[in-house]
Amino acid sequence: MTSFSLTGFNFTQFVRETLAEDLGEGLPGGGRDVTAESVIPADARFSGVMDSRDPITVAGLPIAEAFFRQLDPAMEIELLVEEGVQVAPGTDLMRLSGNARAMLTAERSALNTVQHLSGIATMVRQYVDRMDNPDCTLLDTRKTIPGLRHLEKYAVRMGGGSNHRMGLWDAAMIKDNHILVAGNVGEAVRRARDAGVKDIICEVDRIDQIEPALAAGATRLLLDNMEPTTLREAVALVAGRVPTEASGGINLDTIKAKAATGVDYVSVGRLTQSAPAADIGLDFTPL
């Protein structure tokens, strides 16, 4: 099994449960690959090559390796490129040889994962390149597929972005609904501060909310749905007292201008929410 690991993510369980879902373990008649068992001899062997069909940024190859090794621990696997590299169409990513049934059974889980994560990494790289600003950091959000957050945020890092908070536990994020209940920005921030929360990110969508949020103890301001002119005004008003983050309405056409306003961060939900799968293929040859 690959040594790949992510803090807070049970990688072995993910591989096992993903394969179990595809095999229908626990269901009547399940627990097997009907097609492979009926068509492919038990001792048949394949070699295979996984390759890119488009220009992509690579993420997820060690996970694909783990799917194959779960079903054939003796499978010979060679990862041909590093995670996070940009490759041209036709680049070989992985070579493998081993039990043919194991390869065919693991193929879809392996490909789905690499295609999804490489799709995210590829989109992130496009945003980083378009932003073209070493003084501003691209962040993801919590808009992730349930159960895949750690993997998707890993893919963001492979694409050259950084991670926002991992969940609801590692920072307070005060948004409009929290403010609505608390009564105003300052009171919402004060409640979080008085509760002993160390990191308090406060969303503001108006200039007049900035000073009350700062006075109450916000440690970062999320400047939501502001145009570049307003963002510059907000950054000047904050004057470096806390980091600033632009969010909302950010796409490949707008990111450069928003990042150029002086904000420290730009966050984009579509990096994990809407990235298309990378076109990656896997071709087998009988041995």
Closest C-alpha among 52, 162, 196, 155 to residue 111: 52
243 contacts 212 by C-beta, under 8 angstroms: no
Read off φ and ψ for residue 249, nearest 5 degrees. 70, 25
Q: How many whole angstroms separate alpha carbon 59 and alpha carbon 51?
A: 13
- pLDDT tens by residue, the chain, 287 residues: 567 899 999 999 999 999 999 999 999 999 999 999 999 999 999 999 999 999 999 999 999 999 999 999 999 999 999 999 999 999 999 999 999 999 999 999 999 999 999 999 999 999 999 999 999 999 999 999 999 999 999 999 999 999 999 999 999 999 999 999 999 999 999 999 999 999 999 999 999 999 999 999 999 999 999 999 999 999 999 999 999 999 998 999 999 999 999 999 999 999 999 999 999 999 999 99
Q: How many whole angstroms separate alpha carbon 221 and alpha carbon 224?
A: 9
